[in-house]
Amino acid sequence: MAKHETPLLDELEKGPWPSFVTDLKQQAETKPEVWDILGQLELSFKDRITHWKHGGIVGVFGYGGGIVGRYSDVPKQFPGVEHFHTVRIAQPSGLYYSTENLRALMDLWEKYGSGVTNMHGSTGDMIFLGTRTENLEPLFWDLTHDLKQDLGGSGSNLRTPSCCLGESRCEWACFDAQEVCNSLTQRYQDEIHRPAFPYKFKFKFSACPNDCVAAIARSDFSVIGTWKDNIRIDQAAVQKYIANDPEYPSNGGSHKGRDWGPFDIQAEVIDLCPTQCMWMEGNELKIDDSECTRCMHCINVLPRALRPGLQKGASILIGAKAPILDGAQFSTLVVPFVEVNKENDFEEVVDVIEKVWDWWMEVGKNRERVGETMQRVGLPTFLSVMEVEPMPQHVKEPRSNPYVFWKEEEVEGGWDRDIEEYRRRHAA
């Protein structure tokens, strides 16, 4: 029996799609405090303002992250959500859970919280939504001692690193994303659990340029697999695709649900290459690999014929963020290739990370993401801090984005600068 009338929320149950309102009503049958979520949200819809108070001093002892305080500003009306703290649970690399582990986590959350979850938050953690302050320490104890799991990052911490499935399932993986993700999670425990930075900082690891975890869009430090040498071509398999052999469906058969007509390598692969670096020479598919930008389209369409090269590693891109301040931005390519090597504890990746942190902790303003700091100081300054030589791939749009400036000593013969002559043509 509903505790509150929710006519506005009820509208959200009428579409053909799944509704969180229906889910919450179902959950309220066993967790009565969930009625108060619906009641408070209905009130927010009427008042057109949130009734959550955000943030505070709650947490677990020794940790400066992992718990996000939430309080109702109308607790007398909705006592079930007087405290409604969020708990972030660090996810396993590649999001591999056993059903036994998932059941144990859900039992834990039914015991100490509302049972409402978000699978998963945009950082990657499993999110437990809604518990009281007095439940936090017992929950943390059971989580860490019985389930051997940990809280994730929040606040101005290193957020829980996340990665794709990598080599565990994917033939295109150019490095072991799960290994590096887990290794750096262990290495930077202090940065994950205690605030270290001017603002949040996220790592994400995608083992190939398909970037299944969207590292380029969602992480301050995006590590994306790539290769140095040439795409491997199996010309016999190319012929099978051209011949429309049913054992060789394009895109690995992922579009089989509809008749798209016969496969056309010219229209579906060669003409769609963004750098036009592919062509047919007789029956042979040719690629000018020096022009390849690793878009992965040809490999995705012809998975049995084309494969990444053998000299594998990763590109490091820095500075993505969501649109809170200046608007969303992607990471910028900074280091085109590093080795991602377990044998040396991923030292090439670690060197770049710590160089960025040392600089950003000093230069970054409060609540400024590293991508915003990069924009503020300019890419040439950032590249010189990183000790990276500017290269054409750093230039997003030639002439409209001329952020590589030559110094006189860098140009053979130098130049004479006549400022008066320049000002005759360009007013100050």
Give contact residues for other proteins (rule: CB under 8 A): 53-57, 59, 62, 64-65, 67-69, 71, 83, 86, 133, 154-157, 190, 194-200, 358, 361-362, 364-367
Instruction: Tell me how many degrees the CA angle 331-333-337 measures, rounded to the nearest 5.
Output: 130
Task: State the minimum distance, in angstroms, from the CB of residue 38 to other proteins.
Answer: 22
Smallest distance from other proteins to CB 256, Å: 43
Q: Which lies closer to other proteins via its Cβ, residue 54 or residue 426?
A: 54
Output the smallest distance, CB 110 to other proteins, in A: 24
SS3 223: strand
- Nearer to other proteins by Cβ, of 31 and 88: the residue is 88
Task: Report which of 148, 155, 187, 129 is spatially closest to residue 66, judged by C-alpha positions.
Answer: 155
By C-beta, is 82 or 234 nearer to other proteins?
A: 82
Nearer to other proteins, 93 or 154 (CB): 154
CB of 134 to other proteins, least distance (A): 10
- The residues that bridge with 117 in the sheet, in sequence order, are 128
End-to-end CA distance of the chain: 73
3-state DSSP assignment of residue 291: helix
On whether the CB atoms of residues 105 and 89 are closer than 8 A, the answer is yes
Minimum gap (Å) between residue 367 Cβ and other proteins: 6
Tokens of 375: 């924009």
CB-side exposure of 104: number of CA atoms within 13 Å? 15
Q: Which is nearer to other proteins, 161 or 364 (CB)?
A: 364
Nearer to other proteins, 175 or 382 (CB): 382
195 vs 390 by CB, closer to other proteins = 195
Please report how close the Cβ of residue 207 comes to other proteins at its closest, in angstroms: 28
Among the listed residues 170, 280, 267, 164, the one whose alpha carbon sits nearest the alpha carbon of residue 222: 164
Q: DSSP secondary structure string, 158-181?
A: BPPPEE--GGGT-TT-SS-HHHHH
The residue behind tokens 């033939």 is 171
Residue with tokens 């969207």: 214
What is d(CA 202, CA 215) in angstroms, rounded to the nearest whole number? Answer: 9
∠ Cα 352 354 358 (to 5°): 120
CA 414-384-409 angle, 5° bins: 10
Using the minimum distance from each CB to other proteins, give the nearer residue, 154 or 222. 154
Residue 295 CB, nearest approach to other proteins (Å) = 33
CB of 71 to other proteins, least distance (A): 5
3-state helix/strand/coil string of 180-206: HHHHHHHHCHHHHHCCCCCCCECEEEE
Q: How far apart are CA 366 and CA 197, in angstroms?
A: 9
Q: CB of 64: closest distance to other proteins in angstroms?
A: 4
Rounded to whole angstroms, the Cα distance separating 180 from 246 reads 38
User: Which residues is 281 bridged to in the sheet?
Assistant: 284
Q: How far is the CB of 362 from other proteins (least distance, A)?
A: 6
d(CA 293, CA 230): 12
**Nearer of residues 186 and 366 to other proteins, judged by Cβ:** 366
Nearer to other proteins, 313 or 364 (CB): 364
| Closest residue by Cα to residue 131 from 80, 180, 191 | 80
